[in-house]
Amino acid sequence: MDLPEGLDWVRASPAGRGWLAALPTWLTECAERWSLRVGPPFRQAYASLALPAHLADGTAAVLKLQYPDEESRHEADALTHWDGDAAIRLLAHDPGRRALLLERCQPGTPLHDLPPDRALDVVIGLLPRLWRPAGAPFTPLAQEAAGWIDRMPQAWERAGRPYERRLLDAALDLLTGLASSQGEQVLVNQDLHAGNILAADALAADRGPWLAIDPKPLTGERAFSVVPMVRGPELGHSPAAVRHRLDRLSTELGLERERVRGWTIGHTLAWSLADDTVFPEKIEVVRWLLDTD
């Protein structure tokens, strides 16, 4: 199977190699089960194998085989909860194979192709439609934050202390205070960056023209939901760009700026290390936001 280069990291672990070994069989079985004609994988893949497909009646779709990580475990549940409002629609789901059959965004242009402020206009209109009350089976943000707090010091040590201790201490303090003092709980997405919102002009006009894809859902306060957009490099990676997104999104969505800032620092540092990989651009964002005042 011709895998996208973005999935090369999967080969580093026994679990990843087992998943890769199962993919050809699962792909064949899903194509047969749902009567699909499947094309070559999309190349911009980092956490799943996604392929363009057509249903028996010619309808364009996407077959997605997820890597079995915890963050995306309830993706299908989130898409079902939104039911196509501001998000891509789930057509079918095979939990055993972590396979999702999704409608296809067409033309599928990513949000970061727009000028940055026009992209933020889209986000400001889209996010309130995704803020729906939710409970089980989604993991509460407070529970997830407790896991970050527990794992971050050990991950920092194992990685050779790749950033200053002050960053770690600040992130732990912020996460502890924020997790226990949240506002109303709604469905939030840990990974709603500007590459995970696609143009969908060909879908129903009342749902588009932009839809969210690839959610990593939790239940938490609204201030957390803009974190991926604030830190994401897709709309510019500089102190000024990050602070501009923080200010605009907080103000125009009616969110408390310091809570957005705190969640961004905590979550971004928690995601700055993955096994033996260090993501220096995330560490830069934490420094910029800690030094913003």
- Tracing tokens 């991926």 back to the chain, one arrives at 228
Residues 41/50, Cβ–Cβ less than 8 Å: yes
What span, in angstroms and rounded, lies between the C-alpha atoms of 68 and 75?
A: 11
Judging by beta carbons within 10 Å of its beta carbon (0-12, 13-18, 19+), is residue 209 exposed, middle or buried? middle
What span, in angstroms and rounded, lies between the C-alpha atoms of 255 and 230?
A: 13
Q: 248 CB contacts (<8 Å, ≥6 apart)?
A: 117, 120, 124
- The H or E element spanning position 228 is helix 227-231
Phi, psi of 65 (to 5 degrees): -110, 110
191 catalytic per annotation: yes
Q: 114 CB contacts (<8 Å, ≥6 apart)?
A: 122
Pick the catalytic residue from 69, 77, 191, 293: 191
Q: What is the DSSP letter of 55?
A: -
Q: How far apart are the first and last CA of the chain?
A: 50
What span, in angstroms and rounded, lies between the C-alpha atoms of 22 and 164?
A: 41
Q: Which residues are known catalytic residues?
A: 191
